[in-house]
Chain A
Amino acid sequence: MAPLTPAVMHILLSLAGGERHGYAILKEVLQQTNNEVRLGPGTLYGTLQRLMESGWVEETDGPGSVPDERRRYYRLSRSGRAALKAEVERLEALVRGARARGIIPRTSRG
């Protein structure tokens, strides 16, 4: 599998915590990157469209019992979670390699 693009990775990670609507995804990405990555609406929905086509993300009715018609909610599918897990493992192996070469300390904290 080809490495995921940063936008895909951030969106999948934000949806790993549960279903969210578009703006909540943007806020979550901002929070998980310490305000460094600000996705725009165009990038967000273009990426979500591709993720839905590939079956990694699904649209849902929303968290409540009554569907929220004003918003569209998205959640990670099983294959999306598997793709995210594979990517995280790939990155983990990269970090281990970097640590073995002394690029980052062996026991890094924070």
Chain B
Amino acid sequence: MRPTASFDTRCYRAALYLYPPAFRREFSQEIIRVFNEAREETQAASPGPGVWAFRARMTADLASAIVLQWIRTGWPFIVVISILYPLVVTSAVSSLWRRTPFVLSRGTSDADVIVLALVAAVLLVVIAATIILTLWFTRPILYRRRR
């Protein structure tokens, strides 16, 4: 019968999903193995406070390693740029537009308001599409093997 993984191991294994996919595919089994060996040794040497110190150490190590691995993929920068770029362009366009007076007079027809709403909607779609397409086309960066 296959031995049941400990609570620590299950938590740690779940946390490994926070790594970039390429790194996780390549090293997660080894990382789990080393984690289990270190946990068993710690438990045998000092079962009480030693285990808590081990958990704290592993959590800190995991958090810093996850951040570093994501930075190495370059993905966070792409996300920031893909969000900032359309927002900056839109705000620049809107600041130019603001120079011309824009007033909805009482005589404005419903058709004009509908056109205005449509323009705003198209603008939002363009922003969303830019973000989504940039992220979509840079997906290979996330999944590529580094070797």
Contacts from A to B (Cβ < 8 Å): 22-23, 26, 38-46, 49, 52-53, 70-72
The reply on B127 being an interface residue by CB < 8 A is no
Do A38 and B33 have beta carbons less than 8 Å apart?
A: no
What is the bound-complex CA distance between A41 and B69, given in angstroms?
13
Contacts from B to A (Cβ < 8 Å): 23, 26-27, 30-31, 33-35, 37-38, 57-58, 60-62, 64-66, 68-69, 146-147
Do A42 and B37 have beta carbons less than 8 Å apart?
A: no
Dominant SS among interface residues on chain B: helix
Question: Which chain B positions have C-beta within 8 A of A44?
Answer: 34
Residue pairs across A and B with Cβ atoms less than 8 A apart, 20 shown, are A22-B30, A23-B34, A23-B37, A26-B34, A26-B38, A39-B61, A40-B60, A41-B35, A41-B38, A41-B58, A42-B31, A42-B61, A42-B64, A42-B65, A43-B64, A45-B34, A46-B68, A49-B146, A71-B30, A72-B30
